[in-house]
Structure 1
Amino acid sequence: MLKKVLVVALLGLSSTAFAGGFQVKVGASVVAPTDETTVNGVGTLKADYEFAFTPSVEYFFGDTPFSAEILLANPINHDVLLNGDKVASVRQLPPTITAKYNFKNSTRFTPYVGVGGTAFIAWHEKGLADDVKNTYGFAGQLGFNFQPADATNWGVYMDVRYADLSPEVKLTNGTKFDLDLNPIVYTVGYSYKF
């Protein structure tokens, strides 16, 4: 029964969904945590901002304004500051996928908005951080792609992403708390559409 449902669903898909194209984007980002966490008996903790290499792959669904993008950043190392002093660091991967709506028009300037999900995959803790849990959250995206007049496939883009992330941290003394990161990610880069 499940096989029949899958066959019918596949046959029901519009042929334009298969007539889409891929776009590869190579960007540089600033990852800026927006929140801080106050822990009783410990103090105020905040992660610092970091720079990151952020390639992504996007798929456009035919001639529709819809696309899906997956962000594949290099590992990001955050220093954790306690009352302004570095006390720990944690490295993490932030895979993020967004469903996007592209505001197509007659110009070469294409704004877009996206919503989706993100992850905080942690490893290699140092300092007071004994263990940092993986976590998942909401992601939002707002940006634009610009294709110069002499370009056929390439362009430049700029976007801003928000990620709702608060991983659980366990300190070496056994204290546990959620570290509120909730970063805003500012990205500028180069795009190439196939």
Structure 2
Amino acid sequence: MKKSTLAVLLLAGFAAQSASAADWFVRGGLTNVNPKSDNGTVNSANATIDSNTQLGLSFGYHINPNVAIEVLAATPFKHEVALNGTTVAEFKHLPPTFSVQYYFNPEAKVSPFVGAGLNYTLTFSEKEKAVLGNNNISIGNSFGLAAQAGLRFQVSEDWDMTVDARWMDIDADVKLNGTDIGTANVDPMVYSVMFGKRF
């Protein structure tokens, strides 16, 4: 066999392998954002932020069977903020997160995976409670690291289910009437159960 023919066959085989490994996936399910218990000090008061569950969505692409890139999205999360136990405000946020994932046993029925990436949290719709009177509170956006660990269960050839936990570095500046009064250290754990389809 000529070297050129062998090279063509090898390249064709590599291309076929790459094509079969490059799978798109879409997943949807429940996602819970659970801020850590101590959310910092705001205006000399201890801040706490409650948890919330929304519809989570993720979109991804397998570069090869082991490595994938993923974007996490969701419907807006809504949280209440309390200072020294008194609820003073509520806000909504969207936390799109980009991750690079590694699947340890991609062909198995159950495949553990880990991920690491970046999170951007967009905060909006801040509403003050009556306790603040006519004062206006605003909560800033955040950009930070994210880490993930989970399990993927193969339900069928094209369908799967995933359970995972993420940690996100979310620190948001808090302003009262335009003046900085502290930082909310949200740093939540984010838990998801999703069903997905591969294409």
Write the letter of the residue equivalent to 2:176: L
**Residue 11 (structure 2) aligns with:** none
Show the 5 A alignment for 1:83-94: 83-94=84-95
From 34, 37, 41, the counterpart of 1:38: 41
Equivalent pairs, count: 177
Q: Which of residues 154, 161, 164 in structure 2 aligns to 1:156?
A: 161
Mapped contact 1:18–1:61 kept (Cα < 8 A): no
Larger Rg belongs to: 2
Match of 1:3? none
Amino acid at match of 1:163: M
Q: What's the secondary structure of 1:167's corresponding residue? A: strand
Which residue does 1:8 correspond to in 2?
A: none
Q: Which runs of 4+ in 1 moved over 6 A?
A: none
Equivalent position to 1:188, from 181, 190, 193: 193
Counterpart CA distance in 2 for 1:123 and 1:40 is 21
The residue number in structure 2 matching 1:11 is none
- The one-character-per-residue Cα deviations of 1:91-143 (angstroms, maximum 9, x if unpaired) are 11100010000012553001100000001111111115522221100000000
Tell me the percent identity.
31
RMSD: 1.9
What TM-score comes out, normalization by structure 2 length? 0.82
- Counting only pairs closer than 5 Å after superposition, residues 29-108 of structure 1 correspond to structure 2 as 29-34=31-36, 35-41=38-44, 43-62=45-64, 64-104=65-105, 107-108=108-109
Q: Deviations over 1:16-38 (max 9, x none)?
A: 65650111110201110013212
| Alignment partners' CA distance in 1, 2:33 and 2:77 | 9
Structure 1, unaligned runs of 5 or more = 1-13
CA distance in structure 2 between the partners assigned to 1:111 and 1:99 by the alignment = 14
**Using the alignment, how far apart are the partners of 1:130 and 1:146 within structure 2?**
44
Cα displacement (A) at 1:80:
0.4
Q: In 2, Cα distance between the equivalents of 1:106 and 1:143?
A: 16
Q: TM-score of the superposition, structure 1-length normalised? A: 0.84
Name the structure 1 match of 2:25: 23
Aligned amino acid, residue 189 of structure 1: M
